[in-house]
């Protein structure tokens, strides 16, 4: 009896074991937190400090003057307008084109085995060759050229993402719906679309990120100072960076960051409220 009590006393308490495990997990997470602090938070704080100065050289505190100057600048407003317009055009168009294309590839992909490989080719081609080819076609001005390049370059990869999502939908659901007399449209809106709703949101986020990368093609096509239809927000920032006007650059970047952060935070709050209801 005494031996059993003595053996049981050697077993460490659960709280102590859990505390050791938590400390180990915290130590493993420390490099990640240190990297975020070093490469994200500290540069963000430094950028906020620069935006309150008159110049990177004199460093005289001017408060919010740089923000007021950026908002009053015509080029900044044109760049924001074109960036938003292209996003409003490109993101829905990419979803509307790549999702039906993925349904077509899923149905006829076995007969066209090279089609999936061909879908990735536009993204792998260098931007210089792509812009040179599209420049020769009349596509409705600078904005139309950028829209066509965007859709041609990113529709293939988005189609493959949708194709992977479609392959995870159980086929029994379609068979049961067909036995109940559901048509193709009903099966799509009642089974397919709800099943891949998360992937649709993921592709929409990717599409918005792709829209911000259109500056490379716009720069190759039209240079530092393009026509108003192709002048993007990155043109404004890049030109001020070349002139070493860091306070103006950081003020514009923080305004843009705030404009992106606000809807993301609002969406997170709404999702959290839906979970609690």
pLDDT by residue (tens digit) across 176-194? Answer: 888 888 888 888 888 888 8
111 belongs to a structural domain: yes
Domain hosting 176: range is 75-251
Counting Cβ atoms within 10 Å, is residue 54 exposed (0-12), middle (13-18) or buried (19+)?
middle
> 3-class DSSP state for residue 59?
coil
- C-alpha 112/C-alpha 105 separation (Å) is 8
Q: Report pLDDT for 40.
A: 82
Same domain, 20 and 85: no
Q: What is the pTM of this model?
A: 0.77
Q: What is the mean pLDDT of residues 237-258?
A: 88
Answer whether residue 111 shows pLDDT above 80: no
193 belongs to a structural domain: yes
Tell me which of 17, 35, 50 is where a domain ends.
Answer: 50
- The CATH number linked to 211 is 1.10.3720.10
Same domain, 20 and 90: no
Same domain, 113 and 223: yes
Query: For 77-107, what is each residue's pLDDT tens digit?
Result: 999 999 999 999 999 999 999 999 998 888 8
- C-alpha 22/C-alpha 29 separation (Å) is 11
Averaged confidence pLDDT in the chain: 83
Percent of the chain with pLDDT over 90: 19
Answer whether residue 9 shows pLDDT above 60: no
- C-alpha 199/C-alpha 194 separation (Å) is 10
Same domain, 146 and 100: yes
């Amino acid at each position: 009896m005494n031996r059993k009590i003595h053996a049981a006393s050697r077993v460490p308490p659960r709280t102590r074991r859990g505390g050791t495990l938590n400390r180990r997990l915290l130590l493993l997470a420390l490099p990640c937190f240190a990297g975020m602090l070093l490469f994200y938070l500290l540069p963000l704080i430094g950028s906020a400090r620069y935006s309150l100065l008159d110049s990177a050289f004199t460093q005289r505190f001017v408060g919010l003057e740089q923000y007021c100057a950026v908002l009053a600048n015509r080029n900044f407003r044109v760049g924001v307008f074109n960036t938003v317009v292209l996003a409003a055009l490109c993101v829905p168009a990419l979803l509307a084109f790549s999702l039906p294309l993925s349904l077509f590839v899923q149905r006829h992909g076995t007969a066209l085995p090279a089609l999936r490989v061909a879908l990735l080719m536009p993204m792998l081609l260098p931007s210089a060759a792509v812009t040179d080819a599209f420049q020769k076609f009349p596509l409705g001005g600078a904005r139309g050229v950028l829209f066509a390049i965007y859709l041609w370059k990113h529709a293939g990869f988005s189609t493959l993402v949708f194709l992977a999502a479609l392959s995870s939908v159980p086929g029994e659901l379609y068979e049961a719906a067909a036995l109940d007399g559901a048509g193709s449209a009903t099966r799509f809106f009642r089974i397919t679309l709800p099943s891949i709703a998360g992937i649709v949101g993921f592709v929409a986020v990717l599409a918005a990120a792709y829209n911000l990368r259109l500056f490379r093609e716009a720069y190759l096509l039209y240079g530092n100072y393009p026509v108003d239809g192709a002048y993007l927000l990155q043109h404004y920032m890049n030109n001020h960076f070349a002139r070493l006007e860091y306070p103006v650059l950081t003020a514009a970047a923080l305004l843009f960051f705030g404009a992106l952060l606000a809807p993301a935070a609002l969406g997170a709050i709404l999702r959290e409220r839906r979970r609690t209801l």
